[in-house]
Amino acid sequence: MANIPINHLIDQYINYLLVEKGLSNATISSYSADLLRFSGFLAAKKIKTINGADTVAILKYLIDLRDEGLDIRSRARHLVTLRGFYRFLTAEKIISQDPVRLIDLPKFGLKLPSALSVNEITLLLAAPDTKKPKGLRDAAMLELLYAAGLRVSELLHVKIRDLNLESGFVRVMGKGSKERIIPIGSHAIAKTDEYLKHARPKILKHHTSAYVFVARAGNPMTRQGFWKLVKQYATAKGFDKKISPHTFRHSFASHLLEGGADLRAVQMMLGHADISTTQIYTHVARDHMKRMHEKFHPRG
């Protein structure tokens, strides 16, 4: 089976991602482009079957990417793509050993996302004026964004039917139309409940909407609109660092891992298809453990 042409195997893998994994078109396109580039490299080296695409060939490919000017982050992404491809080949018993498993990601290959401290998050969550209907809406949005680690698009498209405040869960449709159910804490529950009872009806006026967080005429807020709100609240609280809605997602993951959460559980809550994406946050957890060791160990 290992003599099957590489391009045919790539087609099988892409079809698997599309049909079995249900990944988004954007993700499929990204993987396809990476594997097409890998296939082109192998063709230039006269490697036609997967047998020849061994660890040495993959290392040469990564060096070739570096020589072509790709930065470390981009090369790391290519390696993540190859890891998925070779795991598929191994699982399908097309190859017996995975030649990528011994190759590490390039150092600092995946840039650590910026995260706020717990105190900074607390300060930012308190920024909206909850005496006003839209301020209460914004406060509920920020609380839910941080409590569940949502992507901005997921937050903006949460519908009434997706919320179960009594049980403390929110259901979202992530990338590739993958559904996940995420627990939310008492603060997000309380703030969202207050918003639904007292602010949402005033914002809606005579309109109706299936969405939880509404803007003009009952429509969901735009990404750009929400981004501007976050920027305004960050500026009002004196933050000089760049803060975006995605900062809340990074902070969610970092704070969970700092508290000792299991990486797989965080992966599930974030909706990452590949745990290698979640692993960029483990640097935060390791740094936190090191600080705790230095602070509390008698010989730290």
- Non-local CB neighbours of 119 within 8 Å, separated by 6+ positions: none
Given 75, 78, 83, 249, the catalytic residue: 249
Given 175, 180, 187, 288, the catalytic residue: 175
**How far is 111 from 109, CA to CA, in rounded Å?**
6
Residue 233 is among the residues annotated as catalytic for this protein? no
- Non-local CB neighbours of 64 within 8 Å, separated by 6+ positions: 41
Residue 288 is among the residues annotated as catalytic for this protein? no
**How far is 29 from 60, CA to CA, in rounded Å?**
24
- Confirm if 169 and 182 have CB atoms less than 8 A apart: yes
Given 21, 48, 180, 246, the catalytic residue: 246
Residue 246 is among the residues annotated as catalytic for this protein? yes
Given 21, 272, 283, 288, the catalytic residue: 272
**How far is 274 from 284, CA to CA, in rounded Å?**
19
Given 86, 195, 233, 281, the catalytic residue: 281
Neighbours of 171 (CB within 10 A): 15
Given 77, 151, 191, 200, the catalytic residue: 151
Tokens of 95: 């190859």
What torsion do the CA atoms of 18, 113, 229, 208 make, to the nearest 10 degrees? 30
The count of C-alpha atoms lying within 13 angstroms of the C-alpha of 75, restricted to the half-sphere facing its C-beta, is: 22
- What amino acid positions are annotated as catalytic residues? 151, 175, 246, 249, 272, 281
